[in-house]
Structure 1
Amino acid sequence: MYQQLYRYLVQHQQLQLPGIGTLAIQQADAVMNIADHSVTAGAYQLDLHKDNTVTAPAKLYNWLAGVSGITEREAIIQYNDFVFDLQQQLKNGATINWQQVGVLTAGLGGEIKFESAVKQYTAGHAVTAHKVKRDQALHTIRVGEQEKTSAEMIEMLAPQTATRDAWMIVAYILLGLSLAFVAWYLATQQGIGNQTSLFP
């Protein structure tokens, strides 16, 4: 039963042991070392989360029945007998050495102690990683609710050069001509203002 439950633990990442707690495999994230240009693979560790109220899920019984080639009722009975026997051994002060999982012992106050056989297992070795710079590569960027390419964003964010339209040039020429005409007209009409003389 130990080997079968170990396989279940590896496949489902956790194993519920009623009255003892839940064995859970936890994965730490990969670590990037910028100085060495390397990425270390994520590490695994096995912990016991103590909870006396935990119950085994139905998928555990289905899995045990399928692996052992027995009915689900027989799997429930065998599993409950196994867990009950495990609890009794711990209450009697026995040390249970579960291959590839760890050592279970009972403390003075009846508290269950777990020493994992898997302190920190690294799934692979470190690999080198260099940042690749691609100046002209096109990729999509999410902008609000839309996706745009990097070229579209560069064009959209580039400073706009001020270009004058043709109609603005025509407007300035007409304004200049009209001002020149007004100045010429006033100059030919004997000056600006009222030219009548006042007598006292």
Structure 2
Amino acid sequence: MDEHLYKYLVLHRRLDIPGLGRFLIENKSARMEEGGKLIQAPVPVISFRQQAVQADKQFYDFLAWEMDTDEVDAINRFRDYTEELKTKAASESGVELKEVGHLFIREDGTTEFRAVASPHELLPPVSLPDGIIFEHTASMPHALKTNETDTNDEYTEAEPASNNRWWLYAAILLLIGIGIILFYYA
């Protein structure tokens, strides 16, 4: 059952489990490290919100399709799984949902969730090239600034404008095509 729930969560970015709450996949935005020299890519993270939810028909259709059974059987199996999940989550060790995280229900009724580490979080940050730093200001919150004071002559010279003669090639192909048609029907 865990693999079906995880697949639904990944595909729909949301999974509602009645009696427990809602799992969401949210994007953690990119961030800068070490004074604007390293960029960490945005990563998807799994979060949990304890709230009253109900599974919808789309979820049950998906579950029935994945389990290769009818919808009534899928609903019953999911209900049994949910009850088992709540019982295990209320125990001291909690319950681990494969590929999602660890879920605990405390004595006061609140739910604690610890997501598994995303493989995207293991990616190293990317360092900016020398001479370029990230500068955050109120007027330009995402500005890259160069530290170069001297200019290189190779970059200051303008590139010669390329001759844009695509129409010439099109006209030649048109004439060749007309010539072939005239030769074929003559």
Q: State TM-score, norm by structure 1.
A: 0.55
Instruction: Check conservation: 1:43, 1:121, Cα contact below 8 A.
Output: yes
> Counterparts in 2 of 1:92-111, with a 5 A limit?
92-93=91-92, 95-111=94-110
Matched, 1:115 2:111: no
Q: CA RMSD in A?
A: 3.2
**Pairing 1:17–2:20 present:** no
Instruction: Please name the residue that 2:151 is paired with.
Output: none
Distance 2:108 2:125 in 1: 43
Report Cα offsets for 1:112-144 as digits up to 9, x if no partner.
22111137844865557788xx999xxxxxxxx
Could you tell me which residue of structure 1 aligns to residue 89 of structure 2? 90
3-state SS in 2 of match to 1:103: strand
Contact kept, 8 Å, 1:102 with 1:116, in 2: the verdict is yes
Q: Distance in 1 between matches of 2:21 and 2:45?
A: 16
Which residue is equivalent to 1:72?
Answer: 71
Opposite residue 7 of structure 2, the aligned amino acid is R
TM-score (norm 2): 0.59
| 8 Å CA contact 2:103, 2:114 repeated in 1 | yes
Alpha-carbon distance between aligned partners in 1 of 2:32 and 2:82, rounded to the nearest angstrom: 41
Report the count of equivalent residues: 135
Which runs of no fewer than 5 residues in structure 1 stay unpaired?
A: 137-200
Partner residue, 1:6: 6
Q: Secondary structure at the match of 1:27?
A: strand
Q: How does 1:1-200 map to 2 (within 5 A)?
A: 1-31=1-31, 35-36=36-37, 39-51=39-51, 53-93=52-92, 95-118=94-117, 121-122=120-121, 126=125
Give the number of the structure whose alpha-carbon radius of gyration is greater.
1
- Percent identical pairs in the alignment equals 23
Using the alignment, how far apart are the partners of 1:113 and 1:31 within structure 2?
26
Deviation at 1:29, TM superposition (A): 2.4
Assess, with a 3 A threshold, how the Cα gap between structure 1 residues 92 and 126 changes in structure 2: closer, same or farther.
closer
CA drift at 1:30: 2.9
* Distance in 1 of aligned mates of 2:96 and 2:24: 17
CA offsets, 1:82-116, max 9 Å, x none? 11221223345452122221111221212222111
**Distance in structure 2 (CA, Å) of the matches to 1:110 and 1:118:** 26
